[in-house]
Amino acid sequence: MAFSTCFGAKKSTPDETDATTVGSLEEGVSTQPPKSQGKVVDWKLKAMFCVIGCVALLGWNFILGELGTLIDAFGDAYGTWCSLCYSLCINAGQLMLVWIGNRFKFGPRFYTGCFTMGVSMILIAICAITFARTNHAAGFAAGCVLIGVFGFANSLMESSMFGLAALVDPVCTEFILLGEGLSGLIAWPLDRLCQAILEGCGVTDYIYPRMVFFYGLGMLANFATIPMYKYAMQRHPLMRVVLELEEGRQKFVLKREMKRPLASPPHSLSSPGSYLR
């Protein structure tokens, strides 16, 4: 008499069924970047990643470059709360993307981040030059909210660009970091250039107009990155491979959610699977 008939047939647990379903899906969808057939990262793609890295930190360096003017407009406490709100919101955005980031594609996240960063920058300058000097409380509140929005948008953009760079080639990440370093070097010369242009136009009280001009350049830089990504980067052969991989992962996540059982059947205490739930 076989021992297996004494104990009954082995029943599959929901964990095993779910693992089988996920395993069968993984056979059809690769989760690793496909090997490029003789293609290397050319200088054009490296330059575009460098520009994206520069724009990612250019806005924050612009804000720090005119922090004295912002403190004069929003109050002395803004120097502390500016960095605090920025840090809290950028970390909150990155933590949120850890949990739900895969539900959104790189493109929409990148566009939203760039557009929101540019708009929040110019709104900070508008608040400072209009009502903040006469109403410090309202200006301080608006400045803190806008710098928080800027930090959250920056987290969307940076997560997208580093995710793309990791899927393409590690050298792309290096050029992003190179661009971030360049943003710290060009912020001060651009600020002095804005001041020289205003002085050449005959503006004597140039502190606040310089800030608006300076932040306007940062806004245009963020806006210009969107068509560069859409019409130049996405058409690159290596980027097409990455976008196909991203599309495959989106389909894999959708199928896995649809195949996952809504409710598991009841188990007795003697069932091994009941202890593993």
d(CA 277, CA 264): 10
All domains of the chain, ordered by start, with CATH? 39-245 (1.20.1250.20)
pLDDT attached to residue 93: 92
pLDDT along the chain (277 residues), means of 10: 49 46 43 52 92 94 94 93 95 88 81 96 95 92 96 93 88 94 92 92 90 95 94 87 71 50 50 46
Mean pLDDT of the chain: 81
104: left (phi over 0), alpha (psi -120 to 50) or beta: beta
pLDDT attached to residue 42: 87
pLDDT attached to residue 101: 63
**Tokens at residue 238, please?**
């290596």
pLDDT attached to residue 48: 94
CA-angle at 75, arms to 58 and 190, nearest 5°: 25
Given a contact cutoff of 8 angstroms between Cβ atoms, the answer to whether 10 and 254 are in contact is no
pLDDT attached to residue 236: 86
pLDDT attached to residue 228: 94
**Tokens at residue 269, please?**
């205490």
pTM: 0.75
What string of H, E and C letters represents the secondary structure of the chain?
CCHHHHHCCCCCCHHHHHHHHHHHHHHHCCCCCCCCCCCCCCHHHHHHHHHHHHHHHHHHHHHHHCHHHHHHHHCCCHHHHHHHHHHHHHHHHHHHHHHHHHHCCHHHHHHHHHHHHHHHHHHHHHHHHCCCCCCHHHHHHHHHHHHHHHHHHHHHHHHHHHHHHHHHCHHHHHHHHHHHHHHHHHHHHHHHHHHHHHHHCCCCCCHHHHHHHHHHHHHHHHHHHHHHHHHHHCCCHHHHHHHHHHHHHHHHHHHHHHHCCCCCCCCCCCCHHHHCC
